[in-house]
Amino acid sequence: MGDAAVAPTIRTFQVFPDVPERLARLVELAHNLWWVWNPDAVELFRRLDRNLWESVYHNPVKLLGVLPQEKLASAARDDGYLAHLHRVYDDYKEHLTRAGWFNETHPDKTNMRVAYFSAEFGLHECLPIYSGGL
């Protein structure tokens, strides 16, 4: 058999969900793992479609990408859902502005940046990075 010719890539496309403006904060929340340890934030995503939430392994970015447009539109019209979204988003923003233990304990090092990387633990099932041991 001869070598098969591989066609060059002409363009790459990235598709984003068409999230209604009233729900735009969901995208920001979905891209920050803060929601993982906040049950009220988890419920915010689960409320959109409980079965789909399970089938995307609790991944809010994927959920927003595959959720039918009508469900997003329905949530954008639901005053109860919008109140829940605003409450969660306010908690999220407050969390981001809070000084935290390190800054309170070491105020002279507030500009220091530290990164710790380890594949020896899993953060969440939606982020499959766990390697299983050395």
94: tokens are 């407050």
- For 77-91, the pLDDT digits (tens) are 999 999 999 999 999
> 111 or 42: whose pLDDT is higher?
42
98: tokens are 């809070």
How much is the pLDDT for 2? 54
pLDDT bin (cut points 50, 70, 90) of residue 113 is: confident
Can you give the residue ranges of every domain in the chain?
21-103
In this predicted structure, the answer to whether residue 132 has a pLDDT above a threshold of 70 is no
Whole-structure pTM value:
0.74
In this predicted structure, the answer to whether residue 103 has a pLDDT above a threshold of 70 is yes
- For 14-44, the pLDDT digits (tens) are 666 789 999 999 999 999 999 999 999 999 9
CA distance 112 to 124: 26
Nearest CA to 42 out of 31, 18, 58 is that of 58
* 17 close to 72: Cβ distance less than 8 angstroms: yes
How much is the pLDDT for 16? 66
In this predicted structure, the answer to whether residue 134 has a pLDDT above a threshold of 60 is no
CA distance 85 to 44: 7
- For 48-60, the pLDDT digits (tens) are 999 999 999 999 9
Q: What contacts 58, CB < 8 A, 6 or more positions away?
A: 42, 45, 124, 125, 126
60: tokens are 């809010």
